[in-house]
Homo-oligomer: A and B are copies of this chain.
Amino acid sequence: MDRRQEILEAATKSFSLFGFKATTMDQVAKIANVGKGTIYTFFENKEDLFHEIAFTMIKQMKAEKDSVINEQMSFQENAHLVLMKMLEFRESHVLLSKLIAEEKEMQTPVVQAVLVKVEREIVHYIAEHIERAIEKKEIRSVDVQLVAYLLFKAYMAFAVEWQVTHEEPLPEEKIVAVFRDTIFKSLHV
């Protein structure tokens, strides 16, 4: 297998396990079974390596989203499916969870920047879909940016933050129901 890929996989493993700060280049080199110098023939520096991996993660999220979207179905159904996929993704994607945790307990600027980028990207995807739904006249014309932001934040609130103040997580059905009954309902043409 090519060395570049091995390095990427080793680094992904390490970032997922220890986070950005606690991952050392020596460690990555050891896991990848290459000399440390080799890493620098493929990547500018640690940050560059990290960005490439974060970018891959974002691409994966987009791919997961696209695999679920069905142009035949309604905006509401698609949105529901995508939200569920995201929920699943967050739990399964160790790297993302680790980064969210790292950002929370120590403010690593590099990590913060990446997470802001992830947020932008997700909101952007949502906005695109809203835009398309408006064009298809599936939903009313609304301020796309704001509604996309609202959907994202509401989703994060129920799926992630809820647990903080109410020990048990909110069951998926409830999350889906409240979205259906409030925000989505209001978007009906």
Which residues of A are in contact with B by a Cβ distance under 8 Å? 105, 107, 116, 119-120, 140, 142-143, 146-147, 149-150, 153-154, 157-158, 161-162, 164-165, 170, 174, 177-178, 181-187
Contacts and interface: CB of A to CB of B under 8 A. Distances in A.
Contacts of A182: 142, 147, 150, 182-183, 186-187
Contacts of A105: 107
A151 to B, nearest CB: 9
Q: How many copies does the complex hold?
A: 2
Contacts of A150: 154, 157-158, 178, 182
A140 to B, nearest CB: 8
A78 to B, nearest CB: 18
9 contacts: A105-B107, A142-B181, A142-B182, A143-B177, A147-B182, A149-B157, A150-B182, A153-B154, A182-B183
